[in-house]
A and B are shown apart, each in its own frame.
Chain A
Amino acid sequence: MKKSVCLYFQVHQPTRLRLYRFFDIGKDSHYYDDFADRTILKRVAQKCYLPMNQLLLDVIKQQKGAFKVAFSLSGSVLEQFERYAPEVIDSFRALADTGCVEFLAETYYHSLASLASEAEFSHQVLKHKAQVEQLFGQTPKVFRNTELIYSDSIGKQVYQLGFKTMLTEGARHIMGWKSPDYVYSCAEQPKLKLLLRNYSLSDDIAFRFSNKSWKDWPLTAEKYLSWLKQSEGEIINLFMDYETFGEHQAASSGIFDFMRYLPEAITQDGTFEFVTPSQAARKHKAVAPIDVPQTISWADEERDVTAWLGNELQQDAFNKLYAQTEKLSILNNPTLWEDFGHLQESDHFYYMCTKFFSDGEVHKYFNPYDTPYEAFINYMNVLSDFIIRVNDALTVSTPEVAPAKKKTVTKTKKK
């Protein structure tokens, strides 16, 4: 049996918040910086999504179906494609039509809902699933959580939502001596298979490719293949952001040429074959359950969730946001649901991260704010307006009662 290589690319763009000042609270309920979203999306579409999709399509045709790849596109980025660059959706559809491309399920809003509320989590997963079905004519069978966030209990929930395979990080502290290059299973739900990211080989492409001070620069397809062959495992999972190609690693670094020749080099060599996550789960047996009592992710040195919930700012914002869940389910107002969704995007919390020192470089790259404090202030102003709208909607049936007078109203009732 040939060994497997499983490629999966994450496609996401956040819905950025505009500069929302205290003076705007209660007056203006448009929260988004549409101009920045459009500008960035169009740029990334030109530099990455369109050329890379074309490249993958060419390779699939050239390899006559031997090359396979998986994507997960967040609902947020899909909305932006539809609004600003519908041609990108067409190009993904062309990839879907080859039959060599699998689309995965995730939370629609690229959110941290798995850490907050089971109901909200499943709501978003189902919403995303429906969207993928509608756009690409495929029912997602494999789940990938935001930032590969995973724990035993999340795994159990995911299985209950109907998925039999899930992707996560091969984090060193949960693996110990074990290799990520096998299929594992969830400790609490043995029927859920886990594909673990080989972070070292993934980051060679995603982070180190264009780094000239790296001892292995420049990276060639042959060199990379020789590294793959050193693995003793059954499957190598290469998971990375799709924006790696042409955006994080500029076209001038040769990343496109590398990706054009790598599939050919791998198939010609014959040690490996490409599989999608679904195929991988069918092909390989789980070798062992893996215990993950504490939540992990693919971010930062710690591979935990501290990039989003590590400090008091993030925690307070997160708690205040999810405290609205119950009220929203009573209201069931589509506009409010939508804003609630966009405010849940993990990126907003990422911008508030204060871990400047170890992973500051990566954080800075993705951050439109000068400081995490500015990010927090802006987010809380928006959230305050949102909470006012939620509360107003709740009291809308009863005629306007000024909050200050509430007390006297209840008093007279008692009498």
Chain B
Amino acid sequence: MRVLMFGWEFPPHIAGGLGTACYGIVKGLAYNGVETLFVMPSASGDEDTEAATIINASDVPVDTVSTSVEDFLDKVKFIHIGSNMLPYINPEEFSSIVEEERRRQVKDFRIQYGQKYKFSGKYGANLLEEVARYAMVGGTIAMERRDEFDIIHAHDWLTYMAGIAAKELTGKPLVVHVHATSYDRGDENHIDTRVLDIETRGMLAADKVVTVSDLTRGIVINKYGIDPAKVVTVHNAVDFSGRENLQVERGIRDKVVTFLGRITFQKGPEYFIEAAAKVLKRTTGVRFVMAGSGDMMNRCIRHVARLGISDRFHFTGFLRGADVQKMFALSDVYVMPSVSEPFGISPLEAMRTGVPSVISHQSGAAEVLKYAFKVDFWDVDAMADQIYALLQYPALAKFAAKQGFDEVNTLKWNAATAKLKKVYESALKQ
């Protein structure tokens, strides 16, 4: 079986967890006998090509795709996302705007798209434009290579339009993979409707929707209204091959409780702070660390100061590379209090380092980790309780560390991708 896969990033150059997951999936698929053509907006050439053929979208000109531009645009429909959201207009006006937009797109296409486009492949300001261009290029690639794959697989909303274009042009089945949804990115009142729209279109157009957890599956079904029959959960795994645990000399004798991740609303940083304050009331000899940065960081710093615990609650700012490993190695307890976490790989990393983890029930990881301590994100008393127990009762901490370490080592991509392969097969049968 051969798959045309649309991703946004791929190791070694990654900004988020998506690239790491794609790498694991591609390697696992290869193990299960599935060949992958992996398309990404901007490849650097140093990607691992052993597991997949990497296609750099920046190298592909679009002009060969179709004899007629109108025909091509008809097929991929209104992929171009304008930023002109106009509320309160009557149908006549709307239709004239749509016509105008269509003419503009055809013109635009002739001027801009009929050539190579240098993608940044990042998550910058003109992300939506890159997404649209990526769809154009994706369609071209699918047409050029239509004999080289059986199924299309698109990861997250950034690539859904490319997936749709490829499906429209080749007629092959599409699987979209939901690593995160708009509902995990912000609170419900601050959702980017343009992104939400692309997500919905991708899921509707797909023959199968893969979600990284049952939690996400529920969101896809309930919030996006997708038919439950075509939504399948394939839990994430983690690839620790070649990883040696770091030995770090400790500067402080106190125990360390760590939060590591973006400091944003959906990661629940404030629940961590509240729990920290509760633990600090009962015991000294412990320090709390919030590692990472994000739009809630300053608010959290003020919160900590207001609680008067800033001599025992530290912020590290954004950590990169080896510092992340160092932080895990320095930790005694890891906490992930996410309000909404499609999966959440960080507790697996912590447990692999031998650090017991407390995670929220509102995370996909909670579905697979037996030996992580689980609480509701809002239940700061329970959270404080478990942190306290792990700090005070060495037998418990030792047990959790040992069992957790063994457990995460069993979560292999080879098994997860075997399930994914079954999804492909069922999509092909339809």
- Hey, which bits of chain A sit against chain B, CB under 8 A? 21-28, 311-313, 315-317, 319-320, 371, 373-374, 376-377, 380-381, 383-384, 387-388, 402-404, 406
Contacts and interface: CB of A to CB of B under 8 A. Distances in A.
A381 B314 CA distance: 7
Nearest to B303: A312
Given A313-B301, A316-B310, A376-B310, A26 B316 contact: no
Nearest to B313: A380
B302 A313 contact: yes
A377 B305 contact: no
Given A402-B253, A403-B285, A406-B285, A25 B302 contact: no
Contacts of A406: 285
Interface string B268-303: 000000000000000011010100000001100110
Contacts of B317: 374, 377
B251 interface: yes
A26 B252 contact: yes
Given A315-B305, A316-B305, A377 B314 contact: yes
A381 B285 CA distance: 16
A373 B298 contact: yes
Closest 5 CB pairs of A and B: A26-B251, A403-B285, A27-B251, A316-B305, A26-B252
Contacts of B326: 23
Contacts of A21: 316
A316 to B, nearest CB: 4
B110 to A, nearest CB: 45
Contacts of B391: 404
Contact of A377 (B285, B301, B330): B301
A13 to B, nearest CB: 27
A313 B305 contact: yes
A216 to B, nearest CB: 40
A22 to B, nearest CB: 5
Given A22-B316, A23-B326, A404-B255, A380 B302 contact: no
A387 B311 contact: yes
- Majority SS of interface residues in chain B? mixed
A25 B251 contact: yes
10 contacts: A23-B330, A24-B251, A26-B252, A27-B249, A312-B302, A312-B306, A377-B301, A380-B310, A381-B314, A403-B254
A242 to B, nearest CB: 33
A384 B301 contact: no
Interface string B214-246: 000000000000000000000000000000000
A376 B284 contact: no
A384 B314 contact: yes
Nearest to A28: B251
Given A313-B305, A316-B305, A377 B250 contact: no
Nearest to A403: B285
Nearest to B391: A404
A320 B310 contact: yes
Contacts of A402: 253
Contacts of B373: none
Contacts of A22: 289, 314-316
A376 B310 CA distance: 9
Contacts of A317: 305, 310
Given A316-B310, A380-B310, A403-B254, A373 B301 contact: yes
Interface in B292-347: 297-298, 301-302, 304-306, 308, 310-312, 314-317, 323, 326, 330
A354 to B, nearest CB: 9
Contacts of A377: 301, 314-315, 317
A312 B250 contact: no
Contacts of B306: 312, 316
A383 B301 contact: no
Contacts of B312: 384
A261 B48 CA distance: 74
A383 B330 CA distance: 20
A21 B291 CA distance: 11
A384 B255 contact: no
B302 A311 contact: yes
A23 B310 contact: no
